[in-house]
Amino acid sequence: MTALDSAPHPTGRTATGETDPDRRAGIYRNAARIFHRKGYHATSINDIAAAVGLTKAGLYYYIKGKQDLLFAIMSFAMDQLDAQVIEPARREQDPQARLETIVSRHARLITQDSSALTILVNELEGLLPDDRADIIGRQRDYVEFIADTLAALRDEGKVLGLDPTIGAFSLVGMILWISRWYRADGRLDADEVVAEVTRMAVAAVLNRNAEQAEDPDE
Amino acid sequence: MTALDSAPHPTGRTATGETDPDRRAGIYRNAARIFHRKGYHATSINDIAAAVGLTKAGLYYYIKGKQDLLFAIMSFAMDQLDAQVIEPARREQDPQARLETIVSRHARLITQDSSALTILVNELEGLLPDDRADIIGRQRDYVEFIADTLAALRDEGKVLGLDPTIGAFSLVGMILWISRWYRADGRLDADEVVAEVTRMAVAAVLNRNAEQAEDPDE
DNA sequence: GCCAACCTACCGGGCGGTCGGTAGACTGGC
DNA sequence: GCCAGTCTACCGACCGCCCGGTAGGTTGGC
């Protein structure tokens, strides 16, 4: 999105004696975009190499392998989630404000660039077992963080009879799904989507009055 | 799940002179299970053949190709959605009852067997363009059906200022995500999950009182 | 002359898919 | 009651292709 998206041969130099970190970042960014569009398994190393203006062998100067590349992207996405969503939310004392922070910030992140964050949830089976355990652990922590927030709301009496686990998963599903339908060039703009989803999420778990319909259909 | 899951050589006879439909159904069911677990691209024709007790060549007696197999599974899932969710919901006159029917029936279907329904949303890029257009069209119809239901609720005054499109997508995301976290042998049972998700979905879009907080009150 | 940053050429292997064949149950003619 | 022919339901061997990955250069700026 920002730069060097498919620049053929920038030949950017570094005086540090180390591998150019910008070049590497560009490779990760492109790889994330292509993995996102075609899926990890359907993407070949050649696809990525071509997208960054390298041959396959040239690409291997920067990466250790396809699975390492995937893990790097997913770790980056998880870092993003930590820094942009979890940390800011952790600083919120009020549970409802914290919930709103989580939803709106996570939704915002997805409307900005969904590639890495979507790969994070869709390509887990492409990872090596150890890497997968690492990512799954961090994801579980995130869901538990949301569930704890819902439990805190329940303790305040703002939520009645909602299982925090089901609630947390449901909200996460709602948020993650945004990447499937939201298009930056579409009818809806990001601010509207973020606000609407946040409002729905809060409404889904909060009960303003005690009415809790207990007869589902059939 | 039901029968002939990996029966080696049932040698079931048919007097019709046509290919045994049970055998074929078993192949589709197994293929759906494996596609669901490993992903379409990560699954080889050999994997499926082995799971049904055939060699690859033997399997090709029943299927035309990998992509046709995928399309058959997704069409079946879409048929299921039509028959078990959309049709029953269409018979509901009251928009709120209709919404509850959609969510609870769709959620129920996923808790029962998520394979085909999950493939339906995750493996679209594996299809041939014409097949993909077919499936995407049917999926779009479904989302529009939900959006129309939300619009009807809005016309009744039961929903204030919610974009029906965003609402429909968000509910769909919540429902589909169930297949990622619900396990039949887990702590939560299906009835509970279905009821809870349905309640959240309704709460997410309905406003019981006129309060639509722009300011987080109290 | 050194080293970062690439390249060409290649490898083993697995993939989707096909081919020719065949065991064995059934069918009709006599 | 037999047997030639036909059909379904498979299998072993194979094909061409492309995959992830590597060995061993070459080039150009410092």
Give me the residue spans of the domains in chain A: 21-59, 66-205
Identical fold between A21-59 and A66-205 = no
User: In which band, very low, low, confident or very high, does the pLDDT at A11 lie, cut at 50, 70 and 90?
Assistant: very low
- List the single residue in B104, B181, B211 with the smallest CB-CB distance to A217: B104
Over residues A59-73, the mean pLDDT reads: 96
Using the 8-state DSSP alphabet, how is residue B94 labeled?
S
Distance CA A142, CA A148 (A): 10
- List the single residue in A173, A192, A203 with the smallest CB-CB distance to B173: A173
Size of interface A-B (CB pairs under 8 A): 128
Q: Note the CATH architecture for domain B66-205.
A: Orthogonal Bundle (1.10)
Distance CA A24, CA A48 (A): 12
Distance CA A174, CA B84 (A): 23
User: In which band, very low, low, confident or very high, does the pLDDT at A75 lie, cut at 50, 70 and 90?
Assistant: very high
Kindly list the protein residues whose beta carbon lies within 7 Å of any strand D atom. A 13, 15, 43-47, 56-57, 60, 65-67; B 9, 11-12, 14, 17-20, 23, 53-58, 61
Q: Considering only B50-54, B113-117, B210-214, which range has the smallest mean pLDDT?
A: B210-214
Query: Chain A contact for B115, CB < 8 A?
Result: no
Q: Average pLDDT of chain B?
A: 88
H helices of A39-128, in order, are 45-51, 56-59, 66-81, 87-90, 95-112, 115-122
Q: Considering only A2-16, A98-112, B77-91, B194-208, which range has the smallest mean pLDDT?
A: A2-16
Query: Chain B contact for A212, CB < 8 A?
Result: yes
Q: Note the CATH architecture for domain B21-59.
A: Orthogonal Bundle (1.10)
At B22 the pLDDT is 83
Instruction: Say which residues have a Cβ less than 8 Å from residue A17's Cβ, sequence separation at least 6.
Output: none
% of chain B exceeding 90 in pLDDT: 82
* Tens-place pLDDT, residues A190-203: 999 999 999 999 99
- Give the closest-approach CA distance of B62 to chain A in angstroms: 25
User: In which band, very low, low, confident or very high, does the pLDDT at B18 lie, cut at 50, 70 and 90?
Assistant: low
Task: Answer whether B173 sits within 8 Å of A169, measured CB to CB.
Answer: no
* Tens-place pLDDT, residues B158-198: 888 899 999 999 999 999 999 999 999 999 999 999 999 99
Q: What Å value separates CA A16 and C1' D30?
A: 12
Q: Flag whether pLDDT at A9 surpasses 70.
A: no
Return the nearest residue to C2, CA–C1'.
Answer: A17
